[in-house]
Structure formats: structure tokens, C-alpha cells
Amino acid sequence: MRASIAQAMPTVGSTFGRRGEFCLSRLHLLRPLSTTSQVREGPKSRLKYYEHELEKSILAPINRQYASPMSRLSAETRAQSSDVGPLMNEIQRTTEDPYNLQEPEHSLHVYAHRHNTHITLTRPSRDPMISLSCGSLGFRKSHRGGYDASHQLAAYMMGKIQERGFLMDIKKLAIILRGYGPGREAFTKVLLGTEGKNIRSLVVRVTDGTRLKFGGARSRRERRLG
């Protein structure tokens, strides 16, 4: 009996000794002057290690190491800027001054009501460059509201724009239609015809500026003839 206890004591002592050593090592990690952790790497830290090694292998052609994915993306963008230099410069210029990207637009206002048609070309600052109406061509009174007068006015306006050299200054042209008179359709026909072949290539926007009344003052009575 005593022999069996004596034989078992070294095994038990070694077990207690290992547990005691493990506890001492855990306490040793909590010493106040320690600056490095001596805990064995677990699954999470091992995964981070592999991710770090993979990141270093990806960044090997650049020969740099970055602290965050954003810095790596920025470095890769700078490395590829030599291939897309003009595009990057355009993006940078747009970011710094987004309102300077678009070229200023000239405007061609067409005011067509049932009695007359007015066409005005303005600068981007809205200063008028040329303004004509059916009366400028010699039409008087009721003849100014006809389709033929509006068609001649539109064709004459296209010729004047080219004759005075305004096409050299116009990079983009916005057409603003107002009213539903016969001059609206006449201007559209001229613009899509041979008279407007040099001008319609500059058109970037066509809008309707017809004014609509919601409530407001009472309208004038309709004119009745006969």
C-alpha cells in the first residue's frame, strides 16, 4: 500500500507541477513592466497573420506597406495615374471646381403666340446678341401671326447667326420654346431642315418655358370677331 502511494506521488506531483507552472506563466503575463504579450496565437490572430501576409504579397510590386485598405487604394490609384493621366486630371478639376466643368450655354429663345413670333439669341450672361420678330421682315398686323411669316423669320434668323460669326463663340446652345402659336412648329421645321444644319449640332438642351397660371387674376374675355 505504501509502495503504491510512493509510486503514484511523482505522477501526481508532476501534474501539480505542470498546473502550477501554467498558473505562474499566466501570472507572469500580467506583470506591470511587460510590454509584449506571450499568449500563444489563437485562431483569430493566426487569421490576421495570414491576411497580413496576403496583403504584403499583393503590395509586393509597389514595394510599399500601408496601414489601411484606403491608403493602399490611394497608392494604387497614384501608381496607375500615369496610364489615365488626363482622366485623373479631369476628375481632380471637377472635384475642386464642379461648376467649372460645363461650358457656358448660349440660349435661343422662341416666343411664339398667335399674333407674332419673337426669336432672341442671348449670351450665357443673358445679354441679347440679336433679336428679331416677324415685324422686322416687313409683315404687318394680322400677317405677323401666320405660319409663313414665322417660317421666314426662323430661316432669316439662322442666316443672320451664321453671317455675323456667332457660331465661333457658341459652344453649346439651349433652345427655350415659349407659347403654342404657329411660330413654334415653323421654327422646329427650319431647325431640322437645311437652314439649321450648322446650328442644330450645337444644341444640347430643348426646354419649354411656357408660363402656366395657377389661380391668379381673372383672364381677359375672349375676342370674338363677326
* DSSP summary character for residue 97: -
173 forms beta bridges with 106, 203
Alpha-carbon gap, residue 42 to 39, rounded angstroms: 8
Q: Report the pLDDT value the prediction gives residue 17, as an integer from 0 to 100.
A: 46
Q: Report the pLDDT value the prediction gives residue 172, as an integer from 0 to 100.
A: 92
Task: Check: CB of residue 181 under 8 Å from CB of residue 141.
Answer: no
Over residues 179-203, the pLDDT tens digits come to: 999 999 999 999 999 999 999 999 9
Closest C-alpha among 110, 109, 134 to residue 123: 109
Closest C-alpha among 97, 124, 120, 101 to residue 109: 120
Calculate the alpha carbon distances from 198 to 60, 121, 191 in Å.
56, 15, 9
Domain 105-208 classified CATH 2.30.30.240?
no
Angle between helices 182-191 and 147-163 (to 10 degrees): 40
31 versus 140: which is more confidently predicted? 140
Over residues 133-180, the pLDDT tens digits come to: 999 999 999 999 999 999 999 999 999 999 999 999 999 999 999 999
Domain boundaries, the chain: 42-101, 105-208
Closest C-alpha among 107, 123, 114 to residue 186: 114
Task: Check: CB of residue 182 under 8 Å from CB of residue 146.
Answer: yes
133 forms beta bridges with 118
Q: Report the pLDDT value the prediction gives residue 73, as an integer from 0 to 100.
A: 60
